[in-house]
Structure 1
Amino acid sequence: MQITDKDVIYEDNHIIAINKRAGDIVQVDDTGDKSLDMMVKDYLEQKYSKPNAFIGVIHRLDRPVSGLIVFAKTSKGLDRMNKLFHDRDIQKSYLAVVRTQPPHLAGKLENWLLRDRKKMITKAFNREVKGSSYAELNYQVLGELEGYYLLLVQPKTGRTHQIRVQLSTMGCPIVGDNKYGYPRGSLRRSICLHSRGLTFEHPIKGEAMALTADLPVDGFWEKFNTLL
């Protein structure tokens, strides 16, 4: 697998935004599969004939999740983007497809999440427990299509598997996410969760940025463009 021009949403001297494919892993792990950050590094080195291009990982998306992810091309861009994420000065939006109708057309979910590192899952609680972290998101039902519901999800915190476990706890597991309660997994190593957009102030230029990632074209996702 490699990155091509069609995968690039935005690029300047300091950052590059990619529309990640579901199944790509952001950073190397024990699977030995080539990671997205290395694919982006290869892309930049080939594009500019520049060996040892700098790539900094700013944030992550779970392997089965598709959509917008931003990498830094300079150490200055990395430091400042990290600060934006740390200070929650970035507005994130996701699209999720569920099969169960949410209890309300819009709402706020608040939980305390605890990571089980042995089982590699996150557990949600309605109250604070030892070692847990507060998690908050807002959701809105954008519409229904063929028995599936498209949700706009805007997390206020950035916990591991947050959207997946919070929607599941609400009784609406994401389609394909059998780790968090959906009855069937996906043969494509994907779940129906897509990083749709990021809004932030450019870390160097100070300009307002609003980046958007198109839905995957896989025979399923593109149907939901009619609801956007």
Structure 2
Amino acid sequence: MSEDNLEITSEEDDLFEHYRIVADKGQGLIRLDKYLSLHVANASRTKIQNGIEAEAVKVNGQPTKASYKVKPLDVVTLSLPQPPRDNEIIPENLTLDIIYEDDVLLIVNKPTGMVVHPAFGNWTGTLINGLVYHFQQLPTGRNGEGRPGLVHRIDKDTSGLLVIAKTEFAMTFLAKQFSDHSIERTYYALIWGEPKQEQGTITGNIGRSAKDRRVMDIFEDGSQGKHAVTHYKVVKPLRYVSLIQCNLETGRTHQIRAHMQHIGHPIFNDTVYGGDKILRGTSSGSYKSMVENCFTLLPGQALHAKSLGFIHPSTRQWIQFDTDLPPNFTAILEKWENYVNYQ
């Protein structure tokens, strides 16, 4: 299913259509409740099953059971009593770590766990809600779709640097650099295992998985997805895990996370790409306790957007920004170093 097949609409009726999802031509048979859990963000399977029971979910215009097997080109709709939320962004007085600001842009250090922009299930508490409060007005970007000043984004559980445009010209100027891949972006990640090569380049088209829309797959033959290139270098090998530096040549959704899983080294504690379980070493004793303690310390994947460099829209000079690893990231690094050094 392409993103264009998921529409948010409303009708003048007792119920308002929130989702209309058209199954792909190649869609394999899958239970309706599971299908919706893969396509509706932040909706638990229990809530979906309750919605199906209440006949809020219909397939091809007819209510059905949770066990119904979705087939190619089925039209699945979800209707609720309240209308879908509009694109209004509510200003919120959030604490933002702004490390640089001038008349045309700012650089913010986003913490782990903060969503970048409002979307289904995350209408408040996002970076954009905080920025709208911080400024009276920001450029809205493409078709006024509710992402003021946003030129790029990073995942909810990835921490680090983002550049925010404060003028339309700055937004266009910066977007061109992202499009040309001339922006310098350096990430630090803790991965499982030690790569055979201390540095290398990972290539492989990235596109959404046909089995789970939340996951990105790698297509080496180039038949699907978008061209993606990640350069990596091992900064500190720690026997069971490694701290690596990644530089993005392209900027695809989940690029580093998907590429590292593809070469057999998922990012530590990445719940989507299999890094949230013990993949190296024993699964018992003090080692297991230490790893589980690290998982507890870090709420998401161990990935941090550490540095960002680009040509300034006004001065036309190259500017570079860098930030330290978050305290919880540093804490788990120290635990791994101590464990390896004293074994």
Q: Which whole-Å CA distance do the structure 1 matches of 2:177 and 2:243 have between them?
A: 28
* Residues 163-190 of structure 1: CA deviation (Å, up to 9, x unaligned): 1000011111001102112144955542
State the match for 1:176 in structure 2.
269
Q: Which whole-Å CA distance do the structure 1 matches of 2:264 and 2:137 have between them?
A: 47
State the match for 1:48 in structure 2.
none
| TM-score scaled by length of structure 1 | 0.86
- 2:125 aligned residue (13, 18, 34): 34
For residue 134 of structure 1, give the secondary structure of its aligned residue in structure 2.
coil
For residue 130 of structure 2, give the secondary structure of its aligned residue in structure 1.
helix
Using CA pairs under 8 Å that are at least 6 residues apart, name the structure with larger relative contact order, 1 or 2. 1
State the match for 2:114 in structure 1.
24
Alpha carbons of structure 1 residues 183 and 215: separation in structure 2 relative to 1, 3 Å: closer
Q: CA deviation at 1:222?
A: 5.0
Q: Does the CA contact (< 8 Å) of 1:139 and 1:151 recur in 2?
A: yes
In the alignment, is residue 199 of structure 1 matched against residue 309 of structure 2?
A: yes
Q: Which whole-Å CA distance do the structure 1 matches of 2:226 and 2:138 have between them?
A: 36
In the alignment, is residue 126 of structure 1 matched against residue 235 of structure 2?
A: no
- 1:64 aligned residue (157, 161, 171): 157
* Residues 68-94 of structure 1: CA deviation (Å, up to 9, x unaligned): 011111111111111111111211110
Instruction: Give unmatched runs, 5+ long, in structure 1.
Output: 46-50
Instruction: Give unmatched runs, 5+ long, in structure 2.
Output: 1-92, 140-147, 278-291, 338-343
State the match for 2:50 in structure 1.
none
State the match for 1:221 in structure 2.
330
Q: Does the CA contact (< 8 Å) of 2:271 and 2:300 recur in 1?
A: no
Q: Which whole-Å CA distance do the structure 1 matches of 2:128 and 2:323 have between them?
A: 18
Q: CA deviation at 1:133?
A: 1.3
| TM-score scaled by length of structure 2 | 0.59
State the identity as a percent: 28
For residue 321 of structure 2, give the secondary structure of its aligned residue in structure 1.
strand
Q: CA deviation at 1:119?
A: 2.5
Q: CA deviation at 1:138?
A: 0.7
Q: Does the CA contact (< 8 Å) of 1:68 and 1:196 recur in 2?
A: yes
For residue 179 of structure 1, give the secondary structure of its aligned residue in structure 2.
coil
- 1:209 aligned residue (319, 333, 339): 319
In the alignment, is residue 10 of structure 1 matched against residue 119 of structure 2?
A: no
Q: Which whole-Å CA distance do the structure 2 matches of 1:209 and 1:149 have between them?
A: 29
Q: CA deviation at 1:105?
A: 0.4
* Residues 100-159 of structure 1: CA deviation (Å, up to 9, x unaligned): 111210001111212137521100122112x32111111000013484311000010111
Aligned residue pair count: 216
For residue 170 of structure 2, give the secondary structure of its aligned residue in structure 1.
helix
Going by fraction, where is strand more abundant, 1 or 2? 1
Across the aligned residues of Structure 1 and Structure 2, the Cα RMSD in angstroms comes to 2.3
Q: Which whole-Å CA distance do the structure 1 matches of 2:129 and 2:118 have between them?
A: 8
Q: Which whole-Å CA distance do the structure 1 matches of 2:276 and 2:186 have between them?
A: 26
For residue 227 of structure 2, give the secondary structure of its aligned residue in structure 1.
strand
Q: Write the letter of the residue equivalent to 1:210.
A: Q
Q: Which whole-Å CA distance do the structure 2 matches of 1:108 and 1:203 have between them?
A: 30
Q: Write the letter of the residue equivalent to 1:35.
A: T
Q: Does the CA contact (< 8 Å) of 2:138 and 2:167 recur in 1?
A: no
Task: Map 1:97-108 to 2 at 5 A.
Answer: 97-108=190-201
